[in-house]
Amino acid sequence: MRSIIKAQRGVRDILPKDSYKWRFIEDVARNLSASFGFKEIRTPVFESTELFERSVGDETDVVQKEMYTFLDKGKRSITLRPEGTAGVVRSVIENSVFGGALPLKLFYINSFYRYEKPQAGRYREFYQFGAEVFGPESPQADAEVILFISSFFDELGIKNLALKINSIGCTLCRERYSVALKGYFSTAGDLCEHCAQRLHRNPFRILDCKDEKCRNASRDAPVITEFLCKECVDHFDLLKSYLDSLKISYIVDPRAVRGLDYYTKTVFEFVDTFSRGQNSVCGGGRYDNLTEQMGGPKLPALGFAVGMERLLLMMEQQNLEIQKPQDCDIYIANAAEEFKLTTMKLSFILRVFGKINCEYDISDKNLRSQVRHADKLGARFLLVIGQKEKDSGFGIVKNMKTKETLKVPLFPDDDFLKAARNIILAHLAQ
RNA sequence: GUGGGUAUAGCUUAGCUGGUUAAAGCGCCAGUUUGUGGCACUGGAGAGCGUCGGUUCGAAUCCGAUUACCCACCCCA
């Protein structure tokens, strides 16, 4: 059996066998966000193409070749969001959210879209948990954001992560550095085709290139650190001292440059030290000029994003089991057809008034099959309704695991509910 | 965008150098004398071998193209 219509390349369904894992991680993210004082923001899946061109940067790979861009029926150029910051910044400006209490701390768990070739830990539709802070200039905010993510990883029990940090300076530092790099690379030897072109547009990127030639060429390249202004140096030093006192270990990687144009000063990345594939699970940094550049007020800001698919992948690799939720507390079986309505009614009482996960047969199974099904569902308890129960007004609730049985009244409704609930609560309390 | 690998029932696979109605395990459904599961036994449903085209008397098995998946590069989370 094969359906004619298949899911599109690079996207996938998250089925019940996995969805509870997502739910678990999202819950951790939400709860921790609350602890750190971050409020949820939900922005649209699509925005004007221009938003991303102007914020992410039209020289970047993301904008140049990875966006899902199309014209809508009104001939507007629309793009499915390839990342989260642009939309949040747009929303903050548009809704004047900065008019409230600063710093403004926002988080999101959203899907993003990038037209790339699918690979391990990489899909065309992917999810990120991200957060943004608007307002603070202080490096303490940088430390706070890093502490936030690092706590998130800790809570999930993830090991083998390395934090890489760097400062890529403010506009002035970058300008001076860019000039120096261009000078250096024009005499440093052969570059790959890509980088030869990038030399004038975006020389920073050459440092990141994995091509043999480029790596050789950039071996003795000047590093950004030498070009940072006093303010940027102080900022970075303070951040490092904060991280030290927070006991968060890090590696200063002067080569680290982010792929999106809006970053300034602090940039950081968490990488999985155990895999050499798509090992970047979290990236972020400061973007002090973006809000103003997009037409808003001068508002320093910073943020990060964690890739959910990669996170899940890592957890799997590290054998971090996520507890599967209990699906069925009690299964009410009918011994014969004429008791179907009673099972239905009793289930309704437990489900609606007792908030108990309860199942009963809706597919005309015989008793044996019903019990078998209850077992498959992993039901904790079983109650069979038949002539005896109807006559006596009492039912036997059986613990599927221990096979212990307990007598419960079937009516009045309140007595039934109370008895059933007590049994289940007592079981949960163990 | 570049390079490599794979493609058979829901899942995991067997099908050797082409030859009658494509096989197994798991899973699923049901039954094993009439009201209680996980075991065992029995039976059942379920693929025409990714798709298109070619070679051949004949192809799941050979060739080509295409699509999808996996992996790596690029880039990113």
Residue A48 maps to which CATH number?
3.30.930.10
ipTM for the whole complex: 0.88
Question: How many distinct structural domains can be found in chain A?
Answer: 2
pTM of the model: 0.91
**Shared domain check, A334 and A295:** no
Of the residues A317, A347, A368, the one at which a domain ends: A317
CB < 7 A to strand B: residues 278-337, chain A: 278-283, 305-307, 309-310, 335-336
**Shared domain check, A105 and A32:** yes
**Shared domain check, A376 and A308:** no
Rounded to whole angstroms, the distance from the CA of residue A402 to the C1' of nucleotide B22 is 45
Rounded to whole angstroms, the distance from the CA of residue A7 to the C1' of nucleotide B50 is 15
What per-residue confidence (pLDDT) applies to A170? 92
Closest protein CA to C1' of nucleotide B29, residue: A369
**Shared domain check, A245 and A378:** no
- Tokens 């970053």 correspond to A263
What per-residue confidence (pLDDT) applies to A211? 66
Residue A184 placed within a domain? no
Residue with more model confidence, A50 or A198: A50
Closest protein CA to C1' of nucleotide B75, residue: A61
Residue A298 — very low, low, confident or very high, per pLDDT cuts 50/70/90?
very high
Asked if the Cβ of residue A407 lies within 7 A of any atom of strand B, the reply is no
pLDDT tens digits along A100-152 = 889 999 999 999 999 999 998 999 999 999 999 999 999 999 999 999 999 99
**Shared domain check, A335 and A310:** no
Torsion of CA A229, A234, A236, A240, to 10 degrees: 160
Rounded to whole angstroms, the distance from the CA of residue A1 to the C1' of nucleotide B57 is 32
**Shared domain check, A120 and A77:** yes
Amino acid at A349: I
Q: Is the pLDDT of residue A3 over 90?
A: no
CB < 7 A to strand B: residues 171-200, chain A: 194
| CATH number of A363's domain | 3.40.50.800
**Shared domain check, A23 and A123:** yes
Of the residues A317, A340, A368, the one at which a domain ends: A317
pLDDT tens digits along A56-68 = 998 888 998 899 9
Residue pair A380/A330 in contact by the 8 Å Cβ criterion? yes
**Shared domain check, A56 and A156:** yes
**Shared domain check, A385 and A297:** no
Q: Across-strand partners of A396?
A: A407
Structural domain of residue A29, as residue ranges? 16-170+229-317
How does the average pLDDT of chain A come out, rounded?
A: 91
**Shared domain check, A385 and A250:** no
Token pair of A213, please?
A: 């030639």
**Shared domain check, A342 and A300:** no
Q: Which nucleotide is nearest to A336 (CA to C1')?
A: B35
Q: Helices A308-317 and A16-35, interaxial angle, to 10°? A: 110
Rounded to whole angstroms, the distance from the CA of residue A209 to the C1' of nucleotide B76 is 13
Residue A43 placed within a domain? yes
What per-residue confidence (pLDDT) applies to A52? 96
Residue A430 — very low, low, confident or very high, per pLDDT cuts 50/70/90?
confident
CB < 7 A to strand B: residues 12-31, chain A: none
CA atoms within 13 A on the CB side of A225: 11
Query: First CA to last CA across chain A, in angstroms?
Result: 45
Asked if the Cβ of residue A350 lies within 7 A of any atom of strand B, the reply is no
Residue A1 placed within a domain? no
Residue pair A52/A67 in contact by the 8 Å Cβ criterion? yes
A32-41, A196-205, A219-228, A336-345: the lowest-pLDDT one: A196-205
Residue A99: other Cβ atoms inside 10 A: 10
Asked if the Cβ of residue A81 lies within 7 A of any atom of strand B, the reply is no
Q: Which nucleotide is nearest to A258 (CA to C1')?
A: B76
Average pLDDT over residues A340-366: 94
Q: Which nucleotide is nearest to A304 (CA to C1')?
A: B77
Residue A394 placed within a domain? yes
Rounded to whole angstroms, the distance from the CA of residue A400 to the C1' of nucleotide B75 is 53
**Bases along strand B below 7 A from a protein CB:** 1-3, 9-10, 28-32, 35-38, 46-48, 50, 67-77
Rounded to whole angstroms, the distance from the CA of residue A2 to the C1' of nucleotide B56 is 30
Rounded to whole angstroms, the distance from the CA of residue A329 to the C1' of nucleotide B26 is 27
pLDDT tens digits along A164-174 = 999 999 989 98
Average pLDDT over residues A403-422: 94
Asked if the Cβ of residue A375 lies within 7 A of any atom of strand B, the reply is yes
Please report the sign of the dihedral spanned by the C-alpha atoms of residue A86, residue A163, residue A151, residue A267.
negative
3-state DSSP of A220-251: CCCCHHHHCCHHHHHHHHHHHHHHHHCCCCCE
Token pair of A21, please?
A: 């894992």
What per-residue confidence (pLDDT) applies to A311? 95
Token pair of A96, please?
A: 């004047």
Of the residues A317, A350, A371, the one at which a domain ends: A317
Residue A6 — very low, low, confident or very high, per pLDDT cuts 50/70/90?
confident
Average pLDDT over residues A177-195: 79
Asked if the Cβ of residue A86 lies within 7 A of any atom of strand B, the reply is no
Q: Is the pLDDT of residue A26 over 60?
A: yes
What per-residue confidence (pLDDT) applies to A255? 78
Rounded to whole angstroms, the distance from the CA of residue A5 to the C1' of nucleotide B19 is 36
Residue among A146, A116, A44, A151 nearest A309 (CA) = A116
Residue among A63, A134, A126 nearest A98 (CA) = A134
Residue A110 placed within a domain? yes
Q: How deeply is A28 buried, as exposed, middle or buried, from its count of CB atoms within 10 A (0-12, 13-18, 19+)?
A: middle
Residue A204 placed within a domain? no
Residue A89 placed within a domain? yes
A220-229, A297-306, A350-359: the lowest-pLDDT one: A220-229
Residue A181 placed within a domain? no
**Shared domain check, A277 and A339:** no
Q: How deeply is A3 buried, as exposed, middle or buried, from its count of CB atoms within 10 A (0-12, 13-18, 19+)?
A: exposed
Average pLDDT over residues A360-373: 93
